[in-house]
A and B are shown apart, each in its own frame.
Chain A
Amino acid sequence: MDPVAWERQIRPIYDALDTGSNKSAILACNKLLKKYPKNGLTKALKALALVRSQKVEEALILCDEVLAHKPTEDATLSAMSHVLRGLGRHTDVVKMFEDAFKTQPGNEEYAAQTFFANVRIGNWRAAQQVAAKMHKTFENVRYVYWYVTAVMLQAKDPATPEKMRELLHQLAHRQLMTSPSPSYIQADRLYQHLTVLRELKLYDDAQKVLEHDTGKTMYNNSLAVDELRRNLWQLSGRWTQERELAVQRITEKKDRNWLEFLSILDATFAPIVSSEEVSDEARTACSEQISRTRELFTRISEEDGLKDRSGLLGLLELAKRSKHYGFSQDSSELLSLLQTYWHRFGDKACFYEDVKPYLELDADALSRWTSFIDSVQPSCNTEANLRRAINWHKTRRFTLPECEITPELESARASEYIKAYFAGLSLGKDLAETELQPADDLVILAAHAFVSSWSIGGGEKQLYNASVVLEYGLTKSSHSYHMRLLLIQIYRLLGSASLALEHYRLLGIKQVQNDTLSHLILARASTFSLAGSGDITYSNECLESSQIYMTNSHETSDWIVRAFTQEKYSQIPDLIALEDRLDNSLQRDLVKLEHVRMRLTHEPINSELIDMELIELKFNFDRFHHDNRDIDIISNYQPSCQKSIFEQSVLFKKLPGPGWLFAFLKIYIRALQQASDVDDMVEAKLLIGDRPKQSHDPEVQRPLKERLATRKQVELDELTPNELALYDFATALGDWLEPHHDHIRPPPAKVLADASKQTEAKTGRPLQGIEPADLTTNGHAKKDEEAPPVKDAPESIACFFDDMLARFKKLVESGELPSELLHVATLTQEALLLFTIETLRFKPASVVKMYKLGALATSCKAIRTKAVAVLKDMSTELTKLSEKEGSSDQRKAFVQECQVVQDGEQIAHDFVLNVAKRVTDSRKKVEEGIAKSILKICSKDT
């Protein structure tokens, strides 16, 4: 065909795809396919448009047709790799390029694409074989490094047995030796070379590379190479050399990188740290080194004066380590340095963080330090003094002994911080609206003291006070994220869920921050979700925050490939770590589970939902998770003897972790699996994309049923008592109904046949990849087996609802936080939903009749009646509470409880009243919403 004419016909399809007009792309393809029904490119492009419009079944058919012809045309291959990646069929991409490369073994592009396709799925063994072939065929040195990188990554892969690793490292080394050009012509090649030598402990060889002139230039010019050099010298005990280089950099180049100071400190103590039995000579040598180091750091600290903190901090670290290793008996040196530090850098914002590690003092030193600090309390008259005052308060607070932490004292301290805050506020009155007030940390300290007071029994009013000061602080520094973070925590405790969400949104969390920070609002979010009454805000938040995981799987591997083409080998391990940590993020699966919990409250529970969630949750059950959540973002100024502010203020005192996730996965997978007709065999047939990589934990290899039944203490420890009760309930329910599910569930052959029929109805063709053998039942249908006897429902099932009601009432009577009430109510509601899932199969009258389940149906009905009665009771109670919450009495009470913050009369009554209104309105909304949600769920398909 004339290429120009062809181009004219195919171009509009690309244009349509580029602009996202998938519909017109499909139409254009259809037109072209009428003329050229066998054209692979057109089919591939149509498949792409279909994938993008979620028409997966039709895309699959086209896909298989194109692949069957083993395409070798660039455009088709490229379109197909997009289609296959869109379908999650990465292994098929590998195969497609492998085939193309086999057909044209001289085609470097196909070779590279085969390599990359393997890289994208972490198939390092295959990647390494392709790279070896490429090096032989195309004789480009870079392929040596591709090979070496693939081998090193294979060695690092958790699936590689320990014994293999050494062998692989040697393999990499041998290959490097064959390279016709030395590694030091490029920093990243040198980096890779040194990494191999490090793994093989060939330190002398590494030294030769580093000593070469170019090697030297490279470690002096590249932080990455220098990091590796430092590591190599330390591993090989080149402490003298390490020290000399660091001294030279500090004194001649005026380098103030703290790493250089650490190198000197490590070198100083190396004689006694590296050997187990310390000889007298070693101690003497060390002692001499200490003097030399002290001399050096003193000189630096004097030279730098106020300009740089490194010298003085070096001395502090030296004093600390000297004491630790028994070179000095008391803390005098440390104390006097701390005092110098206070005088010199007490007005730097980072003073507190700098000195914290040195404040772990024994009783005697501590009392000397305290009397020093008490003697230097600054005023807030200048900005520098204000910063000093803030540091003074933080530092003073840090060493408070336990006996001085009582609800009253903490509340009094809060008052003191607030007073200082108002004194400092005037210093920033001329700042632009976008700027942060220099006094901000005093408000944050006040909130710390209030939360601390609450946590030791000071009552809910402490949290009211905390919320008022923080809200006030935000009127002065509208961009203080530190204040918002604390408010989110406090509002969740108070049950003011919509306010918490409002502040969270104002933080402007984006992109990867969703992974690290969404825990602030989404941990146990189903407690506050009003999806059951039609408000799906929280549910949407779950979906939006999960977008980043799709972005990661679409984009990050492109950059890993790019790192190969750009020869930036030093970046590859970290890029892979980023991809893996996002892909297997703990937060990802925690949010997924919260979303499922919310979804069940507002969507009809049917087999489609059950099957889909079952498959997804089972994938999550096989993952090895990474916890990327940023907890440290909330600055902590609590005394060292107390829990951190985060731990104190986290909802229900426990942040859900891997244990929580696995406990809940077990609850849900078990229930969904019992309700579903999709067993492992059927799932394997129905699955479209590749299976996600499994964890290498041997635990994952055990049969699913056993894993689901195993309870682990570490998992139970992460549950609240109420969640544990739900777990017990779900287990008893599952045990009771399992035999009946197993008996009635249709055989896989029938399930597949049905699925195939459905696909045929949709696409005109039966399900692909199913053999006739899959569709025959092995002779005897299960129905011939004897039906399991119907047993009475275990008492614990019905008891669960009574117990939860009792707990709920007790909480109401003792006036606990609304979040605690909502916790019990939503878990009880969740129990009813689990019950619905578990009993769905036994509902049709025909089933009851056919399997003689009359007795079972009666039991179920009784349980359901009980559950509904209990839940309605809770709902009524919540409605009552919400009405009270909305009253003016409630707001008045709130204002009255906030005496402490109103003491100085700077925070006006109206301001407090407004906060009171917002807090109580927000609570009213969630209490009302949950009450409604419960009623709705109770009335569903009874």
Chain B
Amino acid sequence: MSVLRPFKATDLFKFNNINLDIWTETYGISFYLQYLTRWPDLCCVQEAPSGRMMGYVLGKAEGTGPEFHGHVTALSVAPEYRRLSLGRKMMALLEFVSDETYGGFFVDLYVRCMNKVAIGMYEGLGYSVYRRVREYYGSLGLGPGGRDEEDAFDMRKPLSRDPQRRSVRANGRDVVVSAHDGSVL
């Protein structure tokens, strides 16, 4: 059981149990407020009945013309609440609002090529790799994860405005682009 509700500015006082996990970054307050003052309906929280935060998603709408889409900026669930479908539910909300309210053509997100769990989840939800972005997470000097540590997959899922599925492609994993200018490598 979890309460799904809007992300509020004062949730910054409450998100420690999610953000202390190493996979989740804590940004400056302006980062969060920029989302809340423009796309509040794309930001939501899952909360336990006790009031403890379980997870949250922050998203935005961007692009023009057929590129107009919803974007998942951050999705995170506290370790003790994983595998309860919370990630799935928050993604469903973000897709619904991107579709209904914003009329976007697709939803996209970036995920570390190494993050198997998240990639598996997104694929299960109907996302596919559109392209691989070289050194999206900076140049780390190749660690044990190799390129997968610093590269990101740009993953997409078409919405109802894109019934022809023009926003996705089959061989996305093979399309490698530069993080700096988007040029194909």
Given A512-B26, A517-B16: A575 and B48 interface contact (C-beta under 8 Å)? no
Q: Which of A153-161, A625-633, A861-869 contacts B (4 or more CB under 8 A)?
A: A625-633
Which B residues are CB-close (under 8 A) to A479?
21-22
Interface string of B63-85 (1 = CB under 8 A from A): 00000000000000001111111
Mark out the residues of chain A between 882 and 923 whose CB falls within 8 Å of any chain B CB in the assembled complex: none
Given A568-B38, A575-B37: A552 and B44 interface contact (C-beta under 8 Å)? no
Which A residues are CB-close (under 8 A) to B3?
257-259
Given A308-B85, A568-B37: A512 and B1 interface contact (C-beta under 8 Å)? no
Q: Which of A98-106, A349-357, A455-463, A932-940 contacts B (4 or more CB under 8 A)?
A: A349-357
Mark out the residues of chain A between 38 and 64 whose CB falls within 8 Å of any chain B CB in the assembled complex: none
Given A510-B26, A575-B9, A575-B36: A256 and B89 interface contact (C-beta under 8 Å)? yes
Partner pick for A551 among B13, B22, B28, B81, CB 8 A cutoff: B28
Interface string of B48-65 (1 = CB under 8 A from A): 111010000000000000
The answer to the question of A749 belonging to the interface, with a C-beta cut-off of 8 Å to chain B, is no
A218 to chain B: closest residue by CB: B101
Given A434-B22, A630-B13: A566 and B37 interface contact (C-beta under 8 Å)? yes
How many Å lie between the Cα of A511 and that of B97 in the bound state?
Answer: 30
A224 x B6 contact (CB < 8 A): yes
The answer to the question of A756 belonging to the interface, with a C-beta cut-off of 8 Å to chain B, is no
Mark out the residues of chain A between 482 and 530 whose CB falls within 8 Å of any chain B CB in the assembled complex: 507-508, 510-513, 515-517
Mark out the residues of chain A between 130 and 162 whose CB falls within 8 Å of any chain B CB in the assembled complex: none
The answer to the question of B162 belonging to the interface, with a C-beta cut-off of 8 Å to chain A, is no
- Total count of chain B residues near the partner, CB < 8 A: 48
A555 x B41 contact (CB < 8 A): no
A316 to chain B: closest residue by CB: B1
B20 x A571 contact (CB < 8 A): no
A571 x B37 contact (CB < 8 A): yes
Partner pick for A515 among B13, B22, B79, CB 8 A cutoff: B13
Which B residues are CB-close (under 8 A) to A510?
26
Chain B residues close to A by CB (< 8 Å): 1-6, 8-10, 12-14, 16-17, 19-22, 26-30, 33-34, 36-38, 40-41, 44, 48-50, 52, 79-85, 89, 93, 96-97, 100-101
The answer to the question of A278 belonging to the interface, with a C-beta cut-off of 8 Å to chain B, is no
Q: Could you jot down 6 A-B contacts, CB within 8 Å?
A: A310-B1, A508-B26, A551-B29, A571-B9, A571-B37, A633-B16
How many Å lie between the Cα of A187 and that of B101 in the bound state?
Answer: 10
A261 x B28 contact (CB < 8 A): no
How many Å lie between the Cα of A221 and that of B36 in the bound state?
Answer: 16
B1 x A187 contact (CB < 8 A): no
Partner pick for B41 among A222, A259, A511, CB 8 A cutoff: A222
Given A221-B100, A516-B13, A578-B10: A556 and B33 interface contact (C-beta under 8 Å)? yes
B81 x A578 contact (CB < 8 A): no
Mark out the residues of chain A between 300 and 322 whose CB falls within 8 Å of any chain B CB in the assembled complex: 307-310, 313-314
A352 to chain B: closest residue by CB: B80
How many Å lie between the Cα of A353 and that of B4 in the bound state?
Answer: 18
Interface string of A281-316 (1 = CB under 8 A from B): 000000000000000000000000001111001100
A630 x B16 contact (CB < 8 A): yes
A256 to chain B: closest residue by CB: B89
Given A515-B13, A568-B37: A223 and B20 interface contact (C-beta under 8 Å)? no
Partner pick for A223 among B1, B6, B22, CB 8 A cutoff: B6
- The DSSP consensus for interface residues of chain B is mixed
How many Å lie between the Cα of A261 and that of B49 in the bound state?
Answer: 11
B17 to chain A: closest residue by CB: A633
The answer to the question of A680 belonging to the interface, with a C-beta cut-off of 8 Å to chain B, is no
Q: Chain B's nearest CB lies how many Å from the CB of A527?
A: 25
Q: Chain A's nearest CB lies how many Å from the CB of B6?
A: 5
CB < 8 Å A-B pair total: 145
The answer to the question of A348 belonging to the interface, with a C-beta cut-off of 8 Å to chain B, is yes
- Total count of chain A residues near the partner, CB < 8 A: 58
A578 x B9 contact (CB < 8 A): yes
Query: 17 new A-B pairs (CB below 8 Å) besides A348-B83, A512-B12, A513-B16?
Result: A222-B101, A223-B4, A223-B93, A224-B41, A259-B4, A350-B84, A357-B49, A508-B26, A511-B26, A512-B26, A513-B26, A555-B33, A558-B30, A562-B37, A574-B8, A578-B12, A632-B52
Given A222-B101, A555-B29, A570-B40: A577 and B89 interface contact (C-beta under 8 Å)? no
Partner pick for B44 among A223, A314, A630, CB 8 A cutoff: A223
Given A551-B28, A578-B29: A512 and B37 interface contact (C-beta under 8 Å)? no
Which B residues are CB-close (under 8 A) to A233?
none
The answer to the question of A436 belonging to the interface, with a C-beta cut-off of 8 Å to chain B, is yes
How many Å lie between the Cα of A357 and that of B1 in the bound state?
Answer: 13
Given A259-B4, A517-B16: A307 and B85 interface contact (C-beta under 8 Å)? yes
How many Å lie between the Cα of A511 and that of B31 in the bound state?
Answer: 11
How many Å lie between the Cα of A192 and that of B142 in the bound state?
Answer: 52
Which A residues are CB-close (under 8 A) to B89?
256
Which A residues are CB-close (under 8 A) to B48?
350, 353
How many Å lie between the Cα of A314 and that of B21 in the bound state?
Answer: 30
How many Å lie between the Cα of A891 and that of B114 in the bound state?
Answer: 44
B26 x A349 contact (CB < 8 A): no
The answer to the question of A782 belonging to the interface, with a C-beta cut-off of 8 Å to chain B, is no
How many Å lie between the Cα of A517 and that of B49 in the bound state?
Answer: 23
A221 x B41 contact (CB < 8 A): yes
Which A residues are CB-close (under 8 A) to B79?
349, 436
A564 to chain B: closest residue by CB: B37
Q: Chain B's nearest CB lies how many Å from the CB of A842?
A: 47
Of listed A348, A555, A575, residue having the most chain B CB within 10 A: A575
Which B residues are CB-close (under 8 A) to A516?
13, 16
A568 x B16 contact (CB < 8 A): no
Q: Which 6 pairs show the lowest CB-CB distances between chains A and B?
A: A559-B33, A578-B9, A481-B20, A574-B9, A258-B1, A257-B4
Which B residues are CB-close (under 8 A) to A512?
12-13, 26, 29
A257 to chain B: closest residue by CB: B4
Which B residues are CB-close (under 8 A) to A559?
30, 33-34, 36-37
The answer to the question of A603 belonging to the interface, with a C-beta cut-off of 8 Å to chain B, is no
Which A residues are CB-close (under 8 A) to B2?
257-258
B28 to chain A: closest residue by CB: A511
How many Å lie between the Cα of A171 and that of B102 in the bound state?
Answer: 33
Which B residues are CB-close (under 8 A) to A515?
13
Interface string of A632-673 (1 = CB under 8 A from B): 110000000000000000000000000000000000000000
Q: Chain A's nearest CB lies how many Å from the CB of B118?
A: 14
